């Protein structure tokens, strides 16, 4: 059952607060419209028994009430619609801001298949209810006005009517509670369905080559999840529909009670009391049905608001200035980056042992080329994210030029880096303050042999629809022209052919070093270890070795590299008959 401590209610209250004047105006207009409807019913009931002398006043009253109904209904509709759409727009902006400011480790743990439905389906559910909310509000006011008129007609009959309506409302509340449980369960299944959709989109090639797995994904995962969602939604909505039908029967029971009890218990009451009750109750059926029909939409909106509130709470961050206007770039020079006694632990699944990186002591000086190497799972990428300031250490301190990097300076520190991660995202736009950016980009497109496929149009790449290796070359161009003092490459050469791999290690890194850049490379290419100034080896989350590349190792790597290049060249020569 929803309580006042429900995060969804608190979140909805915070969203409504900026528009309280418009909400109040809409409520007042709704009260005017609903009250006018109830008054109009009273005029109609009075007109049934009025004499010819009362016609003029009745017509004037009738016309005035019709005008008030139009003003109240249209005004409340407009105000509620404006508030609803403003809230949806505010939600979308707020969620985007929350994601942009979310700590990276929390964002990574939340997973895209849980995040995307909140941004789309949950916001859409609130948008749908916002569209129907004006009618929901007006119907509620009309029902309240009609009940007031019934009380004016006859208190005894009103009390009987109210008791039966309370009984029906209790049944609706119970049905709605069970329906809400169904909507919650269906929403959980929809997260699973989103995950399965990602599976068939991203794993299309593998599924085409593996018939048993394809059948398992199609039947056991997608079809079964879809059927679960369908069954749960059908059960929840059927329950509400059944309650609605029982409510209609109960309404006619109230009408029958009014007709039967009046001559037995109140024989002296005028006929206008019975006719008024019947008229009002018959009219109330429409607004009541409308209210009940909107309960599923209201239930889904409540579930959606609760999910949005949970996401907002989950993505709380200490860095509040991440969305401020970009300030003037800080000095480009950085003399050293240091991790001092740093450790970081990942949250482990239930029953598993968590992976811990550290404690780590590492200092990287300006102009160095540092290779970070180690087996898969040794902690290389985690170490990089700590160096970049993307992860906040559990223990220890991150220092820039000997000064600790704190939460208020962490984003300024991050602006010193350009990265190409192994799971990078390629932006097609080129952002740099200098006016020579397009010319620089064209020069690098020529050097990386992409000019025949990609051009620069309106400050952006003309296309990013390229092979994996070519897309990484575009990412390298983006990194190059940003002109930041530290560049980080996470397995950049893994998707390149031998020729470009050689160019990257022996030419591009050397060019960047001559420009005074600090370069950090995660690599498994031991044939090119001689291109580094230092090699940092990780093993099981700890630094196993940290030192300059030895002379003998350089010579061995160069001999190995030369031999492999000759083999690569020979393997690419056309055969001669």
Per-residue pLDDT at 4 exceeds 70:
no
Q: What is the pLDDT of residues 51-76, one digit of tens each?
A: 666 677 778 888 888 888 788 878 87
Q: CA 20, CA 204: separation in Å to the nearest integer?
A: 50
Mean pLDDT of 526-544: 87
Q: Which two tokens stand for residue 278?
A: 């019947």
Mean pLDDT of 491-507: 84
Superfamily assignment of 9-314 in CATH?
A: ABC transporter type 1, transmembrane domain (1.20.1560.10)
Q: CA 57, CA 162: separation in Å to the nearest integer?
A: 32
Per-residue pLDDT at 569 exceeds 50:
no
Q: CA 221, CA 550: separation in Å to the nearest integer?
A: 54
Query: With 0-12 CB in 10 A as exposed, 13-18 as middle and 19+ as buried, what is 464?
Result: middle
Instruction: Provide the pLDDT confidence category of residue 138 given band limits of 50, 70 and 90.
Output: confident
Helices (H) and strands (E) in the chain, counts: 19, 12
Per-residue pLDDT at 2 exceeds 80:
no
- Residue closest to 413 by CA, chosen among 390, 431, 384, 395: 390
CATH architecture for segment(s) 336-572: 3-Layer(aba) Sandwich (3.40)
Q: CA 28, CA 274: separation in Å to the nearest integer?
A: 30
pLDDT exceeding 70 applies to what percent of the chain?
Answer: 78
User: Domain coordinates of the chain in residue numbers?
Assistant: 9-314, 336-572
- Say if residues 531 and 502 touch (Cβ distance below 8 Å): no
Sign of CA dihedral 72, 73, 74, 79: positive
When comparing pLDDT for 114 and 494, which is higher? Answer: 494
pLDDT exceeding 90 applies to what percent of the chain?
Answer: 5
Strand, coil or helix: 442: helix
């Amino acid at each position: 059952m929803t309580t006042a401590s429900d995060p969804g209610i608190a979140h909805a209250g915070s969203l409504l607060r900026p528009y309280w004047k418009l909400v109040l105006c809409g409520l007042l207009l709704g009260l005017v419209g609903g009250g006018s409807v109830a008054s109009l019913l009273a005029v109609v009931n009075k007109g049934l028994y009025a004499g010819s002398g009362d016609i003029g006043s009745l017509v004037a009253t009738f016309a005035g009430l019709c005008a008030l109904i139009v003003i109240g209904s249209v005004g409340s509709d407009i105000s509620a619609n404006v508030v609803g759409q403003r809230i949806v727009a505010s939600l979308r902006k707020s969620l985007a801001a929350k994601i942009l400011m979310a700590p990276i480790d929390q964002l990574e743990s939340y997973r895209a298949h849980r995040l995307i439905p909140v941004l789309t389906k949950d916001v859409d559910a609130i948008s749908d209810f916002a569209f129907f909310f004006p009618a929901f509000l007006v119907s509620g006011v009309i029902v309240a006005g009609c009940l007031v008129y019934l009380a004016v007609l006859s208190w005894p009959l009103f009390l009987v009517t109210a008791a039966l309506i309370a009984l029906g409302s209790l049944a609706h509340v119970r049905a709605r509670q069970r329906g809400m449980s169904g909507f919650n369960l269906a929403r959980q299944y929809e997260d699973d369905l989103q995950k399965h959709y990602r599976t068939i989109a991203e794993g299309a090639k593998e599924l085409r080559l593996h018939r048993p797995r394809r059948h398992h994904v199609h039947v056991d995962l997608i079809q079964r999840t879809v059927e679960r969602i369908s069954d749960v939604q059908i059960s929840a909505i059927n329950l509400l529909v059944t309650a609605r039908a029982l409510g209609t029967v109960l309404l006619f029971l109230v009408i029958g009670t009014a007709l039967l009890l009046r001559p037995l218990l109140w024989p002296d009451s005028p006929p206008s009391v019975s006719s008024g009750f019947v008229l009002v109750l018959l009219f109330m059926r429409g607004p009541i049905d409308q209210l009940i029909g909107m309960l599923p939409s209201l239930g889904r909106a409540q579930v959606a608001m609760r999910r949005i509130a949970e996401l907002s709470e989950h993505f709380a961050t200490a860095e509040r200035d991440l969305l401020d206007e970009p300030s003037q770039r800080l000095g480009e020079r950085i003399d050293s980056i240091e991790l001092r006694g740093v450790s970081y632990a990942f949250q482990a699944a239930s029953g598993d042992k968590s992976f811990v990186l550290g404690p780590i002591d590492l200092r990287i000086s300006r102009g160095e080329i540092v290779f970070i190497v180690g087996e898969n799972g040794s902690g290389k990428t985690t170490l990089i994210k700590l160096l970049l300031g993307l992860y906040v250490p559990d223990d220890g301190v991150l220092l820039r030029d000997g000064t600790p990097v704190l939460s208020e300076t962490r984003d300024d520190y991050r602006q010193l880096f350009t990265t190409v991660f192994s799971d990078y995202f390629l932006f097609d736009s080129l952002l740099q303050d200098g006016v020579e950016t397009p010319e620089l980009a064209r020069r690098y497109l020529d050097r990386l042999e992409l000019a025949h496929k990609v051009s620069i149009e309106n400050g952006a790449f003309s296309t990013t629809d390229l092979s994996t290796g070519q897309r990484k070359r575009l990412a390298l161009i983006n990194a190059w022209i940003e002109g930041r003092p530290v560049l980080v490459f996470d397995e950049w050469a893994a998707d390149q052919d031998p020729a470009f791999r050689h160019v990257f290690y022996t030419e591009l890194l050397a060019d960047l070093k001559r420009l005074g850049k600090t370069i950090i490379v995660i690599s498994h290419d031991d044939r090119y270890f001689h291109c580094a100034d230092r090699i940092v080896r990780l093993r099981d989350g700890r630094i196993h070795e940290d030192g300059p590349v030895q002379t003998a190792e350089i010579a061995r790597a160069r001999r190995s590299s030369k031999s492999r290049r000759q083999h690569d060249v020979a393997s690419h020569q056309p055969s001669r008959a």
